Amino acid sequence: MIGYVHTAPAADAPSLDVRGVQFSYPDGQVALRGVDLTVPRGERVALLGPNGAGKTTLVLHLNGILAGGAGTVTVGGLTVDRDRATLAEIRRRVGIVFQDPDDQLFLPTVAEDVAFGPANLGLRGTELAERVAEALDAVGMAEHRDRAPQHLSFGQRRRVAVATVLAMRPEILVLDEPSSNLDPAARRELAGILRGLPVTLLMVTHDLPYALELCDRSVILDTGRIVADGATAEILADADLLARHRLELPYGFDPAMAARQLTANG
């Protein structure tokens, strides 16, 4: 691919480093007011916050879809810069799984959808086939490789959407509301899959029990600023903090008991 620069992430660099990012939309709406966030390699972090906090705006900065305000974002040591040839490498490194899997699946078969990204990077033949098999195995969808995505259940389509991103071997997997529209079994299965992936993960969610289940660390964003960053179990146990930022646990959910159960279950 012309202008494509494929470089290995720096071994000692964090998967994600956001420094002083500020952003206003063209209509003047201020969305980010100076965000700092470092995610070491292998960590799983939940990004929490009320509607309009700036979560989506921040995610769209991670691979340069949005830019132009103050601050920097680096991914595995490589700076996001919309004007440079490195942007394609940044987009390989930051795998965003959007809330609606149908935004990411558009080819006749599951395997073709998963092959699309790596084929664009220039992979062919056995190498490409292995990449597709690896990604579909990781989400438990190998047996569905020749099916049409539109014939799969919503939960299966979401798993295939995750595979399309994993096939790029990303530095960081970013998931927007991964548990939305899933039935309890599909929600639990996806959690098991995500927990087993050897990848750095940033998960935007309003589903606080899911954050606890998957992420040891949570960050709360509100009105464009990070207002809390710590252990998910401690954040969810702080009722005043949650109330100040319009975050609510499901009725009857006891975060301390859930955390103990999760620890006991390994």
Ligand X SMILES: Nc1ncnc2c1ncn2[C@@H]1O[C@H](COP(=O)(O)OP(=O)(O)OP(=O)(O)O)[C@@H](O)[C@H]1O
Residues that bind ligand X (CB under 6 A): 25, 27, 29, 31, 49, 51-57
**By C-beta, is 24 or 109 nearer to ligand X?**
24
Q: How far is the CB of 185 from ligand X (least distance, A)?
A: 26
Q: How far is the CB of 52 from ligand X (least distance, A)?
A: 4
Pairing of strands 72-75, 78-79: antiparallel
Q: CA torsion angle for 242, 228, 218, 211 (degrees, to 10)?
A: 10
Q: How far is the CB of 96 from ligand X (least distance, A)?
A: 13
Q: How far is the CB of 31 from ligand X (least distance, A)?
A: 4
**By C-beta, is 89 or 207 nearer to ligand X?**
207
Sheet holding 200-204, edge to edge: 94-97, 172-176, 200-204, 44-48, 217-222, 225-231
Structure tokens at 111: 């395997």
**By C-beta, is 35 or 163 nearer to ligand X?**
35
Which of 257, 213, 241, 221 lies closest to 44 in space, CA to CA? 213
- Phi and psi, residue 217, nearest 5°: -120, 140
**By C-beta, is 84 or 206 nearer to ligand X?**
206
